[in-house]
Amino acid sequence: MSRAVLRYVRVSPTKARLVAREVQGMNAELALAALDFMPNKAAGIISKVIASAVANGDYEPEEVVITSCRVDKAAVMKRWRPRARGTATRILKPTSHIIVEVAEAGAEAPKAEKKPAKKAAKKGTSTKKEAPAETAAKAAAKEAVKATEKKGDDLTKIKGIGKAYQQKLNDEGIYTYEDVANMSEEQIAMMEEKYSFKGDFKESVADAKNILNTKEA
């Protein structure tokens, strides 16, 4: 785990916390990509602190998760503005301390498993059991997730597609090289407009076709 701290930032802690809550628990690479498109002043500042925390631990952004993104209240600068009848109005300029902590994606899993087993219920009390329908629904959901993981290809091997954009393609139901190669003109235009794809997405589609042709050969 590594952390980065930025002190006395000229931004209100109330406004900065709105951005901090959005990236808490996210993958660092996805968080940095999301912050690039946020218009808030605090988004650019928090993005730099996250990048610093990743660099402090010698990690890659896709390897870590933002475990904590905290904004603390710092000193408040006081200024005065002249008003009518010789009076003055106080102006408050708040500052913030931004603290970001990141850890490897699998680092938090063992802690969740270390829970003490519950004691046996006393006589006269009945333990709750899951209904058969709920158990079947959970099993079906797990099988669906496993099926999705098996049929998916590593889309990062396609030119111009990183892990962040692979996740976006998966969200649109695109998992394999064949899915990318068979994308229509409308789908390509939608991806470039909806996700602000950096570069020409048609080149990525053409590269996916080349990968498929190489496999068949």
Q: Kindly report, residue by residue over 133-165, the tens digit of the pLDDT.
A: 667 666 666 665 554 454 567 777 777 777 777
Sign for the pseudo-dihedral over CA of 23, 27, 32, 36: negative
Range of the domain at 25: 2-107
Domain boundary among 107, 124, 155: 107
Identify whether 120 is part of a domain.
no
Q: What is the pLDDT of residue 181?
A: 78
| Structure letter (DSSP) for residue 27 | B
Number of domains in the chain: 2
**Residue 216 pLDDT > 50, yes or no?**
yes
Biggest CA pair distance of the chain: 88
CA nearest neighbour of 169 among 203, 206, 197, 211: 197
pLDDT at 134: 63
9-67 pLDDT, tens digit per residue, is 999 999 999 999 999 999 999 999 999 999 999 999 999 999 999 999 999 999 999 99
Going across the sheet that includes 88-104, the strands are: 2-9, 88-104, 64-82
Domain CATH for 184: 1.10.150
Q: Tell me phi and psi for residue 155, to 5 degrees.
A: -75, -10
**137 and 85 in one domain?**
no
Q: Are residues 96 and 192 in the same domain?
A: no
Q: How far apart are CA 102 and CA 57, in angstroms?
A: 9
Judged by DSSP in three states, 188 sits in helix
Question: Cβ distance 35 to 28 under 8 Å?
Answer: no
User: Tokens in use for 91?
Assistant: 């102006």
Strands (E), 59-201: 64-82, 88-104
- Residue 118 has which token pair? 């519950």
Q: How confident is the model at residue 199 (pLDDT cuts 50, 70, 90)?
A: low
CATH number at residue 91: 3.90.470.10
Give the chain's mean pLDDT.
80
Residue 54 in domain: yes
Judgement on whether residues 7 and 101 belong to the same structural domain of the protein = yes
Give the model confidence (pLDDT) of 60-102 as tens digits: 999 999 999 999 999 999 999 999 999 999 999 999 999 999 9
Cα–Cα nearest to 198, from 171, 172, 159? 159
pLDDT in tens, 188-197: 777 777 666 6
Quote the DSSP letter at residue 68. Answer: E
CA dist 118 to 121, 122, 125, Å? 9, 12, 14
